[in-house]
Amino acid sequence: MSTPKENFLRLMRNDNPKWLGDPWDCYCQGPILGPIILDAITMTQGRPNPGEGMRRDRWGIMWDWPLGQPGAIPVAGKEYLVLQDIHEWREKLNFNNLPPEDKIPWGLVYQINPPFDRENKLLMVSAFMGMFEFAHLVLGFEQALVDFMLEQEEMYAMLEAYTDWKIKTIGMVIDNMQPDIIHSQDDWGDKHRMFLPPTVWREMIKPHYERYYGYIKSRGVLIQHHSDCVNDDVAEDMVELGIDMWQGVIPQNDIKGVIERTEGKLCIMGGFDMQLIDYPWSKEEDIRAYVRQVIDTYMPLGSFIPTVTNVIPINKHVENAIHDELNRYGAEYAAKHF
């Protein structure tokens, strides 16, 4: 009988899968973000805990985590910006912001998390704050968009330095944790379109990911790129970057077209529009019906795995209903079609 790890990999590769259920059950679980295991670098990034008040992280970005919010959020306001001008980045951004490697508390990871079942489950480790996100967090969203268009030389140089930092730190994560998958996060658009024209994205964002993801692939690690927005214009580029799984795919994308154009080389994980179902007043029967709709709509296309786009729903009863229906109806679907 196949292990959960083997089952997921067969499903991801569209390789005669025998199982369908909640895919996160195939991953090692942590206490904070479930299937996304935090590493020591992420744990010590400096963001506040819930209800703790505002705090700057290692880059100088100001964050707040009010009670009741699902996560820390950047604080808006010109007075909180790290950079008032893109030309300041060499003076104000510290790319030597880590302690010596032997002082990074990797043991903290294993104190917080239960033992990982590496034989039967996949270990996926976080890599938050992608290239586009970093730019708008240090510059402010509007100014970053302007600079991507008008200050391309400086923006490119800043992201080149940040990519060097990302490669260094992800190398440390791989050395110390030996993950099966890196969960990399960068939202390139909203529910309607990409923030940058695809031509600009290819000039200003893609080259940095070519280096970063090229390094991860050279270490033999799978890449799960989280982006719960409309990115289907660059789906073929995502294949070129070596992305194994585009996780968080919302149905505002042309999911069918992406699967056809990429010839199944890019596994699509998602299919849910959580703004339709993730509320305190959402009814269980409606949630379950929506799960069945997602499976019936997209599973016949192949190279698709139904998952919650934001990984963990905001409301617990929604999470429970989706998890149970993915396993219950997923088993029925697998018995009929696999």
189 domain-assigned: yes
pLDDT at 155: 98
61 domain-assigned: no
**What is the rounded CA–CA span in Å between residue 15 and residue 310?**
26
> Is the pLDDT reported for residue 1 higher than 80?
no
71 domain-assigned: no
End-to-end CA distance of the chain: 15
pLDDT at 151: 98
pLDDT band at 309 (very low <50, low <70, confident <90, very high): very high
Sheet strands (E) in the chain: 55-56, 62-64, 73-74, 124-127, 181-185, 222-226, 245-249, 267-271, 304-307
169 domain-assigned: yes
pLDDT band at 84 (very low <50, low <70, confident <90, very high): very high
> Is the pLDDT reported for residue 197 higher than 80?
yes
**What is the rounded CA–CA span in Å between residue 325 and residue 282?**
15
64 domain-assigned: no
pLDDT band at 49 (very low <50, low <70, confident <90, very high): confident
> Is the pLDDT reported for residue 44 higher than 80?
yes
pLDDT band at 191 (very low <50, low <70, confident <90, very high): very high
309 domain-assigned: yes
Tell me the pTM.
0.96
8 A C-beta contact, residue 231 and residue 197: no
> Is residue 51 classed exposed, middle or buried when 0-12, 13-18 and 19+ CB atoms within 10 A define those classes?
exposed
198 domain-assigned: yes
pLDDT band at 71 (very low <50, low <70, confident <90, very high): confident
pLDDT at 335: 94
- Split into its structural domains, the chain has a count of 1
Give the pLDDT confidence of 281-300 residue by residue, as tens digits: 999 999 999 999 999 999 99
pLDDT band at 32 (very low <50, low <70, confident <90, very high): confident
225 domain-assigned: yes
Integer Rg of the chain from CA: 20
Q: Which residue range(s) make up the domain with 175? A: 4-46+85-337
> Is the pLDDT reported for residue 36 higher than 80?
yes
Least Cα distance to 330 among 13, 24, 31, 98 occurs for 24
Q: Residue 20 sits in a domain of what CATH number?
A: 3.20.20.210
Give the pLDDT confidence of 153-166 residue by residue, as tens digits: 999 999 999 999 99
